[in-house]
Amino acid sequence: MAPIVLLHGWGLSPAVWAPLLAELGPDVLAPQLVADGGSVDDWAARQLDEIPAGAVVIGWSLGAMLAMAIAARAPQHISRLVLLAATPSFVKRADWPHALDVETTTAFRNNFRDNPARTLDRFIALQALGDKERANVVAQLRASIADVRQHNGALAHGLRLLEQSDLRGALPPASMRCLLIHGEQDALMPVAATHWLAQRWSGSETMIMPDVGHAAFLSQPVAVAARIRQFIHAS
């Protein structure tokens, strides 16, 4: 079986992957992601050193954006991609409606600067909106929050990357094998972003999950893991 690497989302630690790790098995890498500076592509270049050749890279939210940048930079190094709640651009642009308003992301960044703990708590609540397992998802997210005192600067830079990055012109090649998983009720990232991405890869597959929010792998870990295993083992 190919090695698996899990890339978590903004504001969280690798502990957020615990339910999925329980289903996928022990031989999975889940590094702590730290946005030290530069662009998403700069970050991808640094992170590439920690990814074994032929790995299946699974990224969620900001981690999905990083996974796409890694696969675009070194497609021969990655066997397959699994993208959870993915988007090439978190912010709306003149030709990109499937995202958050600029005002929303700017306010979020300013609020994090002024009150990191309260902002993270609000972010967690948004991730669980519309999810039938809302209480459970919130509890697991709160148990996996990144250490703000240790990573404050990196978290602030991660928010800037969410605002500034637009990967639509720098996606992995059309031949990349990719599984896109998205909660139909995702309040942070419209499911239309996943449909747009699916059209860019000839080898892509999608799993749209009803009654699920931004963290499908926490809401329905058994179903998500089963679909990932099926994708990895398919010829």
The residue annotated as part of the active site, out of 61, 165, 204, 219, is 61
State yes or no: pLDDT of 164 exceeds 80. Answer: yes
Give residue 1's pLDDT band: very low, low, confident or very high (50, 70, 90).
confident
Question: Average pLDDT of 14-19?
Answer: 97
Task: Give the global pTM.
Answer: 0.96
Residue written as token pair 């967690």: 124
Cβ atoms of 137 and 218 within 8 Å: the answer is yes
The better pLDDT of the pair 169, 234 is held by 169
> Where residue 128 sits, what CATH number does that domain have?
3.40.50.1820
Distance CA 103, CA 107 (A): 6
Active site residue 101: no
What are the structure tokens assigned to 184, written together?
């139909």
Domain housing 39 = 4-233
Question: Average pLDDT of 220-226?
Answer: 97
Neighbours of 191 (CB within 10 A): 18
Question: What pLDDT is stored for residue 203 in this prediction?
Answer: 85
Residue written as token pair 């992601």: 33
State yes or no: pLDDT of 204 exceeds 90. Answer: yes
The residue annotated as part of the active site, out of 8, 98, 182, 214, is 214
Distance CA 214, CA 189 (A): 7
| Strand spans (E) along 113-227 | 177-183, 203-209
Measured distance between the N- and C-terminal CA atoms of the chain, rounded to whole angstroms:
12
State yes or no: pLDDT of 235 exceeds 80. Answer: no
Sign of CA dihedral 114, 91, 94, 183: negative
Sign of CA dihedral 150, 83, 67, 188: negative
The residue annotated as part of the active site, out of 98, 186, 204, 219, is 186
Distance CA 227, CA 233 (A): 10
The number of distinct structural domains making up the chain is 1
pLDDT in tens, 24-67: 987 899 999 999 889 999 999 999 999 999 999 999 999 999 99
Active site residue 36: no
Question: What pLDDT is stored for residue 37 in this prediction?
Answer: 86
Distance CA 158, CA 109 (A): 10
Q: Which positions ≥6 away from 159 have C-beta within 8 Å?
A: 10, 105, 108, 109, 112
Distance CA 59, CA 176 (A): 15
Distance CA 231, CA 21 (A): 16
Q: Which positions ≥6 away from 199 have C-beta within 8 Å?
A: none
Residue written as token pair 């300013």: 110
pLDDT in tens, 91-146: 999 999 999 999 999 999 999 999 999 999 999 999 999 999 999 999 999 999 99
What are the structure tokens assigned to 174, written together?
């059309």
Chain centroid to CA 194: how far?
Answer: 12
Active site residue 186: yes
Cβ atoms of 30 and 6 within 8 Å: the answer is yes
pLDDT in tens, 172-192: 999 999 999 999 999 999 999
Pairing status of strand 55-60 against strand 28-29: unpaired
Using CA atoms, how far residue 120 sits from 64, 83, 134, in Å, is 19, 22, 16
Question: What pLDDT is stored for residue 63 in this prediction?
Answer: 98
